[in-house]
Amino acid sequence: MIGLRKVYIIGFMGSGKTTVGKKLAAVLGWSFWDLDKKVEEKAGISIQEIFSRNGEEFFRTIESETLKGLECETNAVISTGGGTPCYADNMDFMLKTGLTVYLKLSPVQLRNRLSESKGERPLIKNLGKEELLVFIGKKLHIREEWYNKAEICIEGVDVDIKILSSRVKQTFNT
């Protein structure tokens, strides 16, 4: 793991990947990259617009290209999209080029978080409360096949950044 010095934060939408990623990068003194923001920069439009104009498959292709474009980054924390690990060879790529951290939450915890921001998220914007819970349960069940490959799996509620940063430092022998 020496020399790779990159951490990928993975997990379902609403799990806190960006928040945890920013805090972890600050504690480590590393740079922070939000993959969704990088995709928007590359495409020149918002993720919502990408989905509505070109569909999810097109989005996933750009997302994968953008992820692989960050390969040369070092001393970096990268928060990914919820589906990033599940598309193409993205999870294998992340496992080979850095340390992966899965922020694990239950479907109910995720629903409670996502209920407040549904309008910003193309895959769930039109779902009611119960529909949202069913959607999360089904998607999470499928995605956990990839998420559970992460080297570090932690409870995503109230993440202790000091403990996480200690585990990251230990992994990189710093």
Cα 148 from Cα 151, distance rounded (Å)? 8
Q: Determine if residue 18 is left, alpha or beta; phi over 0 gives left, psi from -120 to 50 gives alpha, anything else beta.
A: alpha
Q: Which of 7, 17, 10 is nearest to 102 (CA)?
A: 10
pLDDT reading at 21 higher than 60? yes
Burial class of residue 165, CB neighbours in 10 A (0-12, 13-18, 19+): buried
Q: pLDDT category, 115, cuts 50, 70, 90?
A: confident
Report the range of poorest mean pLDDT among 19-33, 99-113, 120-134.
120-134
Cα 151 from Cα 144, distance rounded (Å)? 13
For residue range 143-152, list pLDDT tens digits in order: 999 999 999 9
Q: What percent of the chain has pLDDT over 90?
A: 82
pLDDT reading at 122 higher than 80? no
Q: Which helix (H) or strand (E) holds 91?
A: helix 90-97
The CATH code belonging to domain 6-164 is: 3.40.50.300
For residue range 148-174, list pLDDT tens digits in order: 999 999 999 999 999 999 999 998 875
Work out the average pLDDT over 50-56: 90
User: Structural domain boundaries of the chain?
Assistant: 6-164
pTM, rounded to two decimals: 0.93
Cα 158 from Cα 135, distance rounded (Å)? 24
